[in-house]
């Protein structure tokens, strides 16, 4: 997306220099507000800004994930004859790792895996 001083953007679809028409998708508690930049000539969405999951949505998703993980690890631990505490511990570790991974991606731009690969080299 290249825009010059008068706010015009060249559309990759029809190759015209256009002023994008903005289409707002109202966000909510879970999803952020998204703005689509639409070409007024061919109607193609050139790019969109915003969108994605909010922090509340993330925490909510994490809670559901944690609960699901807990249920699954309880089943596995029951199957292996392990204590209930180890199921709690395993799901806690996994959720923490996922959360750290998310924070690293946001703050550093690398996931745990890429950092680990760099560290091993």
Q: Which is nearer to Zn ion, 21 or 117 (CB)?
A: 21
Binding of Zn ion by 77 (CB under 5 A): no
Q: Are 56 and 29 in contact, with CB atoms under 8 Å apart?
A: yes
Q: Is 13 in the site for Zn ion (CB under 5 A)?
A: yes
- DSSP at 2: -
Contact between 9 and Zn ion by CB under 5 A: the answer reads no
Q: What are phi and psi of 85, to 5 degrees?
A: -60, -35
User: What is the side-by-side order of every strand in the sheet holding 34-38?
Assistant: 21-25, 34-38, 45-50
Tokens of 76: 């596995």
Candidates 13-21, 47-55, 84-92, 109-117 — which segment interacts with Zn ion by CB under 5 A?
13-21
Closer residue to Zn ion in complex, CB, 23/67: 23
Of 9, 38, 39, 77, which one interacts with Zn ion (CB under 5 A)? 39
Under the binding rule (CB under 5 A), the answer on residue 38 touching Zn ion is no
In the complex, what is the shortest distance from the CB of residue 50 to Zn ion, in angstroms, rounded to a whole number?
21
Closest to 78 measured CA to CA, from 86, 67, 66, 89: 86
Binding test (CB under 5 A) with Zn ion, winner from 1, 14, 22, 113? 14
| H-helix segments, the chain | 55-80, 84-107, 112-120
DSSP 20: P
Q: Give the interface with Zn ion as residue ranges (CB under 5 A).
A: 11, 13-14, 39, 41-42, 44
């Amino acid at each position: 997306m290249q825009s010059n001083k008068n706010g015009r953007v060249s559309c990759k679809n029809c190759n015209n220099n256009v002023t994008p028409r903005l289409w707002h998708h109202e966000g909510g508690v879970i999803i952020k507000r998204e703005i689509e930049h639409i070409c007024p000539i061919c109607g193609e969405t050139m790019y969109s800004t915003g969108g994605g999951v909010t922090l509340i949505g993330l925490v909510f998703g994490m809670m559901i994930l944690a609960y699901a993980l807990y249920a699954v690890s309880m089943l596995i631990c029951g199957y292996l004859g392990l204590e209930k505490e180890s199921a709690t511990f395993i799901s806690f570790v996994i959720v923490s790792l996922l959360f750290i991974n998310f924070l690293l991606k946001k703050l550093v731009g690398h996931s745990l895996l890429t950092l680990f690969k760099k560290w091993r080299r």
